[in-house]
Structure 1
Amino acid sequence: MIEAFLPVLPLIVFVVANAVVYGLFQGFLYSWIGATTGAVLVFLLVRKLGRQRFFLFLRKHKQVKRVMVWLEEHGFGPLFLLMCFPFSPSAIINVVAGLSGVKTRDFLLAAVLGKSVMIFSITFVGDSITSFTSNPVKTIVVLIGISLFWLLGKFLEQRLAVRAERKNG
Structure 2
Amino acid sequence: MNGGDLLKKILTLIGLLVIVIFIVSNAELFTMVWKSDLDSVITILTENLLLTFVVTFVLMIVQNSFTIIPLILLLTINVAIFGFIYGYLWSWVTSVVASGFIFYAARNWFQAPLLKKMGPKWNESVVEHGFMYVFTGRIFPLIPTSLINLAAGVSSVTFKDFLLATAIGNLIYFFFLSLIPYGLLSVEMNEYTLAVLAFLFLLFFLIYKRFKKKKKVTFFRKNR
Any conservation in 2 of the 1:132–1:138 contact (CA below 8 Å)? no
Amino acid in structure 1 at the alignment position of 2:148: I
Q: Deviations over 1:131-165 (max 9, x none)?
A: 999x9877765555444444455555556x45983
Residue 16 (structure 1) aligns with: 76
Q: Deviations over 1:39-78 (max 9, x none)?
A: 11111121122257xxx4xx38x9xx59x65634522112
Any conservation in 1 of the 2:111–2:153 contact (CA below 8 Å)? no
Cα displacement (A) at 1:123: 0.9
Any conservation in 2 of the 1:23–1:127 contact (CA below 8 Å)? no
Residue 88 (structure 1) aligns with: 143
Amino acid in structure 1 at the alignment position of 2:103: F
Q: What SS is found at the alignment partner of 1:95?
A: helix
Q: Note the 1:143-154 alignment, pairs <5 A.
A: 144-154=199-209
Any conservation in 2 of the 1:20–1:127 contact (CA below 8 Å)? no
Residue 167 (structure 2) aligns with: 112
Q: CA RMSD in A?
A: 3.5
Does residue 33 of structure 1 match 2:93?
yes
Identical-residue share of aligned pairs (%)? 27
Does residue 128 of structure 1 match 2:188?
no
Amino acid in structure 2 at the alignment position of 1:111: T
Any conservation in 2 of the 1:24–1:123 contact (CA below 8 Å)? yes
Amino acid in structure 2 at the alignment position of 1:40: G
Q: 2:182 & 2:208 partners in 1: Cα distance?
A: 26
Larger relative contact order (C-alpha < 8 A, sep ≥ 6)?
1
> Larger Cα Rg: Structure 1 or Structure 2?
2
* Structure 2 unaligned residues grouped into runs of 5+: 1-59
TM-score norm. by structure 1 comes to: 0.69
| Equivalences, count | 158
Amino acid in structure 2 at the alignment position of 1:71: V
* Structure 1 unaligned residues grouped into runs of 5+: none
